[in-house]
Amino acid sequence: MRQRIVINVDGPPDEATKRVRTRRKGNRWLRVLAILAGLVLVVVVVAVVGGFLWWRNYQSTPTYTLTLLIDAAQRNDPAEFQKRLNDDEIAKNMVSSVSQKAAARYGLAFNDSVQQKIETTVPSLLPRLKQTIHDEVVKQIKEFASKSEPKPFPLLVVAVPRLVTVTTEGNTANVKAPLNDRTIEITMQRDADLWKVTEFKDDVLVQRVVDNVMRELPAIGSIESDSPLFKKQPRKRSRKRR
C-alpha cells in the first residue's frame, strides 16, 4: 500500500499569524461571555419585576394585614393596632353575643324584664366597652403571636399564610386562626389598599366582655322574689263582650 506524504510548502506560521488566531479565539470567548451576561441580566430583571409585582399584590391581601397585626403584637405597637382595627364595628357586631351570654348567666332568674334590661343596658355601654373590647382583641392577637418565637417581618410574610385560613369574597374576608384548643374567627373589610378587622369571634373574649357588662346589670343573687326584674310581666286579659 502506498503512503501519501503531505509537505507543507507554506512553512511554519509566523508570529503575526499566531497573534491573529489568538485574537479571533479571544473575541469568540468575549462574545460567549457577553451572551451569558445578557441572559443573566434578563433573568435578574424578570425576577426583580416579578418579585415587585408579587409584593404589590400581596400588600393588597387580608393576609398582609394580619401579618402587620402580628408584627405589631411582637413589637407592642399600639398605633398599628389602632389603624388595623375598626373598633366601632367590632363592638357593634359583638353586642348580640354579649347579650346572649349575659342572659344565660341568669339561668332560672331570667325573664322578660331581665331581657329588656339587658337589651337596654348593653348597647348603652358600647362607648365604654369599645376600649375594653379593643384591649381584649389586642390581647388575643398577642397570644396568637406568642405561639412561636418572635420573627423578623420577612419571615412572618412566609409564616403567617401557613398559620391561618383565609377566604375572600369581594371586599369581605373571613379568617380562621387556631389558638390553643379553640379557633378564632375574624371578619375583615377592604379599606382602600389594605383591610380592617370588623368582627372578632371568640368565646373567651366574649366571656371577658360579659364580665364587664354584668357589673352594670342587677346582681343575680340580689334579685328578690318580689323584684319586678324577677317577675314575669302579667298578661292583660281581654274583656269579653257582654
pLDDT 10s digits, 156-175: 999 999 889 999 999 999 99
Same domain, 22 and 134: no
Domain count, the chain: 2
Question: Residue 1: inside a domain, yes or no?
Answer: no
Segment 77-102 mean pLDDT = 90
Same domain, 53 and 74: no
Final residue in a domain of this structure, among 34, 58, 82:
58
pLDDT in tens, 216-225: 787 765 544 4
- Give yes or no for a contact between 154 and 142, defined as CB atoms under 8 angstroms apart: no
Q: What is the predicted pLDDT for the residue at 71? A: 93
Q: What is the predicted pLDDT for the residue at 130? A: 87
Same domain, 48 and 132: no
Burial (CB count within 10 angstroms: exposed 0-12, middle 13-18, buried 19+), residue 169? exposed
Final residue in a domain of this structure, among 58, 87, 107:
58
Same domain, 22 and 116: no
- Range from 107-121, 171-185, 218-232 that averages highest in pLDDT: 171-185
Looking at 16-30, 122-136, 227-241, which range is the least confident one? 227-241
Same domain, 106 and 54: no
User: Closest Cα partner for 125 from 86, 103, 92?
Assistant: 92
Q: What is the predicted pLDDT for the residue at 14? A: 54
Question: Residue 141: inside a domain, yes or no?
Answer: yes
Segment 213-240 mean pLDDT = 56
Question: Residue 3: inside a domain, yes or no?
Answer: no
Expressed as residue numbers, the domain containing 29 is: 18-58
Segment 187-214 mean pLDDT = 89
Burial (CB count within 10 angstroms: exposed 0-12, middle 13-18, buried 19+), residue 16? exposed
Instruction: Give the integer Cα–Cα distance in Å for 27 and 239.
Output: 115
Looking at 10-14, 56-60, 192-196, 222-226, which range is the least confident one? 222-226
Question: Residue 26: inside a domain, yes or no?
Answer: yes
Segment 194-211 mean pLDDT = 90
Same domain, 167 and 191: yes
Q: What is the predicted pLDDT for the residue at 168? A: 93
Same domain, 214 and 109: yes
Same domain, 72 and 50: no
Same domain, 87 and 50: no
Question: Residue 122: inside a domain, yes or no?
Answer: yes
Same domain, 122 and 201: yes
User: Closest Cα partner for 153 from 80, 222, 216?
Assistant: 80
Same domain, 113 and 164: yes
H-helix or E-strand spanning residue 172: strand 172-179
Same domain, 40 and 74: no
Q: What is the predicted pLDDT for the residue at 50? A: 85
